[in-house]
Structure 1
Amino acid sequence: MRDNESLREFVKRFGQAVLQIEACSMDAVLQIFKRSICPGTPFFESLAKKPPITMDDLFRRANKYSMLEDDVRAATQQVLVAGRPARNNTEGSNKPPDRPKPSDRKQKG
């Protein structure tokens, strides 16, 4: 995988490359695929635990994990946007200025 390349983009590029090869064993394709993705990722672990039997199985599972990756990326973006500090722009603000509380005023006796 290239730096900053999503699993979806890699799978698309890998699939196009596999189509250009005339004869290739499933085992060879799987080994090349596994060497190309990041070790330690959930998808890599899934492939290690249960290797796919067919190309369709490989790409179906890759699609499943790429959707998960997309969801995580979208959630991260939402957190980053929501976590930005508010602008300190009081102009145009509908909030009234802070006033002292009645209990804070000194009582005259």
Structure 2
Amino acid sequence: MCVEDVEKLVNDRLRYMKTGGNFEDSLRKEMDQVNSTPFTLDIEQAAHPKRFITPSFKHFKGDFDPESHLKHFKSIMIFYKANEALMWKVFAMTLQGAAQDWFHTLPSGSISSFKELAYVFIKEYTSYRTIKKNPDHLFNLQKKDDESLRDYIKRFKAETANIIGCDDRIASSAFKRGLPIECEMYRELTISPCQTLVEVFATAEPYALWDDDRTAAKKATKQDDQPVEPASQRNDMIKDKDGGKRELHPQGGAPTTESYTKFTIPI
């Protein structure tokens, strides 16, 4: 007998003692709950279409946005959306863990349409729903002092992507509002306002290139202005007439006495 079997026997015994001898009734109720289905009889008896192969899904365990999972499921089952019975059954297969346990707690025969199933599913896991941002959120974005124009554009694009149905005029106005007044592009957007966000980004691209070039030039100038290390702190080497090297000022010590080549013939 393995460890799992022993643990099962112990747990069964404890449950029997806690229920006061009604262990069989408790077990029967649990088995009935597992074998029951929340779908109506018509859904259960509906036949699958021929040659149907169950696609691979991202399983839902009750730990992220239920609307995102529902959209993911519908996009994969788009060719079978007319067959609601198949949609209901396959959706149940995408649930795992706590979500699968929740599914089996639904009353038997309580679900008669996929719309009802989607409603109770989202309602159960509504606390995991992602809060959607409205277009007014874009007016909170401001270009930072140490942020390049290109980085500001990337950050603005990322925030815009999280807003569904964002109006171009609102987004264009918010992008301009986030720029410093002394910025050249702010002046450009004021004189020649763009109608769409695509036009705004197209106008911003030359300014971003100019800003990148200016930043690179500043870095190069800063490196050129760095002080040169004094000769007294370097380990200078000079060549003698024989092509060898000798140390003038060894690092960390006193300067050595210079030696010269002695000639046998007077100059």
TM-score scaled by structure 2? 0.33
Whether the 8 Å contact between 2:169 and 2:197 is mirrored in structure 1 is no
Greater length-normalized contact order (CA 8 Å, ≥ 6 residues apart): 1
**CA distance in structure 2 between the partners assigned to 1:9 and 1:2 by the alignment:** 10
**Percent same amino acid at aligned positions?**
26
Runs of at least 5 residues in structure 2 that lack an aligned partner in the other structure: 1-142, 239-267
Aligned to 1:40: 182
**CA distance in structure 2 between the partners assigned to 1:62 and 1:93 by the alignment:** 53
**CA distance in structure 2 between the partners assigned to 1:55 and 1:10 by the alignment:** 14
Runs of at least 5 residues in structure 1 that lack an aligned partner in the other structure: 95-109
**CA distance in structure 2 between the partners assigned to 1:3 and 1:86 by the alignment:** 31
TM-score scaled by structure 1? 0.75
1:8 pairs with one of 150, 157, 165:
150
Query: 2:208 matched to 1:73?
Result: no
Per-residue CA deviations over 1:67-98 (Å, capped at 9, x if unaligned) read 1111000001111111222221244266xxxx
Runs of 4+ with deviation above 4 angstroms: none
Aligned to 2:15: none
SS at match of 2:186: helix
Aligned to 1:87: 229
SS at match of 1:71: helix
Aligned to 1:27: 169
Q: Which has the larger radius of gyration?
A: 2
The alpha carbon displacement at 1:16 in A equals 1.5
Count of aligned positions: 94
Aligned to 2:202: 60
User: CA, structure 1 residues 87+56, in 2 after alignment: closer, same or farther (shift >3 Å)?
Assistant: same
Query: 2:189 matched to 1:50?
Result: no
- Amino acid aligned to 1:28: I
**CA distance in structure 2 between the partners assigned to 1:38 and 1:68 by the alignment:** 16
- Amino acid aligned to 2:163: I
User: CA, structure 1 residues 93+66, in 2 after alignment: closer, same or farther (shift >3 Å)?
Assistant: farther
